[in-house]
C-alpha cells in the first residue's frame, strides 16, 4: 500500500510539474527589450524636428502616441519609415511655439510595460536625456535650466530593463537554484557580470555586431541548458556545470551582454557622453540584478520555512517544478525566436 501511494505521489508530482510548465509560457511573456524613443532636435527658436521610434512585432504595434502640449505634432507625420523591428515617424515643425515650457507625453503608455527614452538637443548644443515610464508618462521641458546631460536616465533604463527582462532573470534564477545560496553563487554571478559587461561595451560602442534575433534565440537556448541541468536525474554523474558553474555563467554571460547591447543600441548613446552613459546603464543592470537575487533568496527561504511545516513531503515537487517551469518558458521563447530569425 505504501509503495502504491509512493508511486501515485510521484506521478502526481510529475503531472503537476508538467501542468505548470505548459501554463507558464502562456502567462509569461519574454520582455520587450527595445524601449521607444522620442528625439527632439531644435533647429531654431521656433523650429524643431520630432522623431518617434516605436518597436513593433511583425506588423503590429501597441497603441502609443507622442504628444507635445502645444499640439504641434497632433497631425500626420511628415515622414514615416519602417526599419527592422521599428516604425519611425518624423514631424518637422518650422513655426511652432518654443519648446521650453512645453510638456511631452505619450498616450497609452500607462497601459503598457514599455519605457520611452526622451532625448532633446537644443539649438545651442545642450542635450537632455530622460525616461518616461508607465507610471510617469509625461515631462515638462525646462531647457533654460543650467546646461548638463541627465545621464542617470541611462541608469534607470538599465534597472528597468533587467527587472522587466524575464528571460535574463530566469537565467539568473536557474543559476541560483542550481548552485544554492553559497560563495559559489557569488563567484558565478561575478563571472556573469564580468562577461556581459565585456560584450555590452564592445557591442554598444560598435566593435562587434551580431543579428539581434540570433542573439535573442541563443539567450533562450542558454536558459534551456540551465533548465536541463536543474532536472533531477537519479544516478547522473556530476556535470561540468555543477563542478564549475562560474564557467557556464561566464560563457552564457557573453551572450546576455550582446542582448543588453541590443536594447541600448536601438535608442543610442548620447554623442560625446557614450562611455558615461554605457557605464551607468551597466550599473543599472547590476543594481536590478542584485535586487532580483535578494528578492529570490528571500522567497526561497520563506518557501523552505513553509515546506518544513507541511504535513506531506514536497521535496520531489520542489526539485522538479522549477526545472519544468524554466524549461517550458525558455523552450517556448526559443521556438518563437527561431521563427523570428
Residue 300 inside a domain? The answer is yes
Q: Pick from 127, 150, 173: which residue ends a domain?
A: 150
Residue that is written with C-alpha cell 506521478 in the block = 11
Q: Which structural domain, as residue segments, surrounds residue 321?
A: 8-31+165-340
Residue 44 inside a domain? The answer is yes
Residues 217 and 336 reside in one and the same domain: yes
Residue 51 inside a domain? The answer is yes
Return d(Cα 205, Cα 10) in angstroms, integer.
Answer: 52
**Residue 66 — φ and ψ, nearest 5°?**
-80, 150
Residues facing 104 on adjacent strands = 68, 139
Q: Is residue 167 within 8 Å of residue 330, measured between CB atoms?
A: yes
pLDDT of residue 298: 92
Residues 20 and 41 reside in one and the same domain: no
Fill in the DSSP letter of residue 312. S
Q: Mind listing the pLDDT tens digit of every residue in the chain (341 residues)? A: 444 334 444 444 444 444 444 444 444 444 444 678 898 988 887 889 999 998 876 666 778 899 999 888 998 999 988 877 788 999 999 887 888 888 899 998 888 877 888 888 888 777 777 888 888 888 888 776 444 335 567 787 788 778 878 888 899 999 999 888 888 888 888 899 899 889 888 887 778 877 777 888 899 999 999 999 888 877 777 788 888 889 999 999 998 888 877 666 666 666 566 777 788 888 888 888 899 999 999 998 888 888 888 777 777 777 788 888 898 889 998 888 888 76
Q: Is residue 46 within 8 Å of residue 96, measured between CB atoms?
A: yes
Contacts of 121 (CB under 8 A, 6+ apart): 39, 40, 41, 42, 127
Q: Pick from 150, 178, 210: which residue ends a domain?
A: 150
Residue 43 inside a domain? The answer is yes
Residues 141 and 83 reside in one and the same domain: yes
Return d(Cα 223, Cα 220) in angstroms, integer.
Answer: 5
Residues 42 and 79 reside in one and the same domain: yes
Residue 188 inside a domain? The answer is yes
Residue among 100, 107, 101, 102 nearest 137 (CA): 107
Residues 243 and 119 reside in one and the same domain: no
Residues 233 and 95 reside in one and the same domain: no
Give whole-number Cα distances, 66 to 58, 140, 254, 268, in Å. 21, 14, 35, 19
Q: Is residue 86 within 8 Å of residue 266, measured between CB atoms?
A: yes
Residues 238 and 106 reside in one and the same domain: no
Q: Is residue 215 within 8 Å of residue 258, measured between CB atoms?
A: yes
Residues 47 and 184 reside in one and the same domain: no
**Residue 297 — φ and ψ, nearest 5°?**
-65, -40
Residue 158 inside a domain? The answer is no
Residues 230 and 96 reside in one and the same domain: no
Order of strands across the sheet with 138-140? 65-68, 103-107, 138-140
Residues 190 and 334 reside in one and the same domain: yes
CATH number at residue 141: 2.60.40
pLDDT of residue 113: 75
Domain count, the chain: 2
Q: Dihedral, CA atoms, 84, 86, 92, 96, nearest 10 degrees?
A: -170
Cell digits of residue 44: 531654431
Residues 276 and 130 reside in one and the same domain: no
Q: Is residue 78 within 8 Å of residue 91, measured between CB atoms?
A: yes
Q: Pick from 118, 150, 182: which residue ends a domain?
A: 150
Residue 131 inside a domain? The answer is yes
Provide the b/e sequence for 31-67 (b: ≥16 CB within 10 Å).
bbbbbbbbbbebeeeebbbbbbbbbeeeeeebebebb
Cell digits of residue 311: 504535513
Q: Is residue 200 within 8 Å of residue 296, measured between CB atoms?
A: no
pLDDT of residue 211: 78
pLDDT of residue 52: 92
Residues 94 and 171 reside in one and the same domain: no
Residue among 165, 85, 161 nearest 333 (CA): 165
DSSP per-residue codes, 71-105: -TT-S--SEEEEETTEEEEEEEESS---STT-EEE
Residue 160 inside a domain? The answer is no
Amino acid at each position: 500500500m505504501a509503495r502504491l501511494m509512493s508511486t501515485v505521489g510521484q506521478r502526481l508530482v510529475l503531472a503537476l510539474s508538467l501542468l505548470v510548465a505548459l501554463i507558464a509560457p502562456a502567462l509569461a511573456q519574454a520582455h520587450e527589450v527595445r524601449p521607444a524613443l522620442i528625439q527632439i532636435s531644435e533647429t531654431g527658436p521656433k523650429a524643431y524636428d520630432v522623431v518617434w521610434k516605436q518597436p513593433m512585432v511583425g506588423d503590429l504595434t501597441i497603441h502609443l502616441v507622442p504628444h507635445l502640449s502645444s499640439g504641434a505634432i497632433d497631425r500626420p507625420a511628415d515622414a514615416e519609415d519602417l526599419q527592422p523591428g521599428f516604425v519611425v515617424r518624423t514631424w518637422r515643425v518650422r513655426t511652432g511655439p518654443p519648446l521650453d515650457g512645453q510638456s511631452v507625453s505619450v498616450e497609452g503608455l500607462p497601459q503598457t510595460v514599455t519605457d520611452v527614452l526622451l532625448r532633446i538637443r537644443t539649438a545651442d548644443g545642450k542635450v537632455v536625456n530622460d525616461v518616461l515610464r508607465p507610471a510617469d508618462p509625461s515631462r515638462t521641458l525646462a531647457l533654460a535650466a543650467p546646461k548638463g546631460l541627465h545621464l542617470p536616465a541611462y541608469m534607470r533604463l538599465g534597472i528597468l530593463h533587467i527587472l522587466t527582462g524575464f528571460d535574463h532573470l530566469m537565467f539568473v534564477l536557474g543559476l541560483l537554484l542550481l548552485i544554492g545560496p553559497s560563495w559559489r553563487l557569488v563567484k558565478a554571478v561575478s563571472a556573469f557580470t564580468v562577461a556581459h559587461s565585456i560584450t555590452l561595451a564592445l557591442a554598444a560602442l560598435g566593435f562587434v555586431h551580431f543579428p539581434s534575433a540570433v542573439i535573442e534565440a541563443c539567450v533562450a537556448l542558454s536558459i534551456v541548458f540551465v533548465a536541463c541541468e536543474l532536472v533531477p536525474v537519479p544516478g547522473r554523474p556530476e556535470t561540468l556545470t555543477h563542478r564549475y558553474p562560474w564557467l557556464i555563467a561566464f560563457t552564457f554571460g557573453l551572450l546576455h551582454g550582446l542582448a543588453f547591447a541590443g536594447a541600448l543600441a536601438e535608442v543610442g548613446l548620447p554623442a560625446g557622453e557614450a562611455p558615461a552613459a554605457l557605464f551607468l546603464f551597466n550599473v543599472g543592470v547590476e543594481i536590478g540584478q542584485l535586487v532580483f537575487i535578494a528578492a529570490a533568496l528571500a522567497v526561497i527561504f520563506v518557501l523552505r520555512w513553509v515546506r518544513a511545516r507541511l504535513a506531506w513531503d514536497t521535496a520531489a515537487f520542489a526539485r522538479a517544478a522549477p526545472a519544468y517551469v524554466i524549461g517550458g518558458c525558455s523552450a517556448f521563447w526559443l521556438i518563437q525566436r527561431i521563427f523570428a530569425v
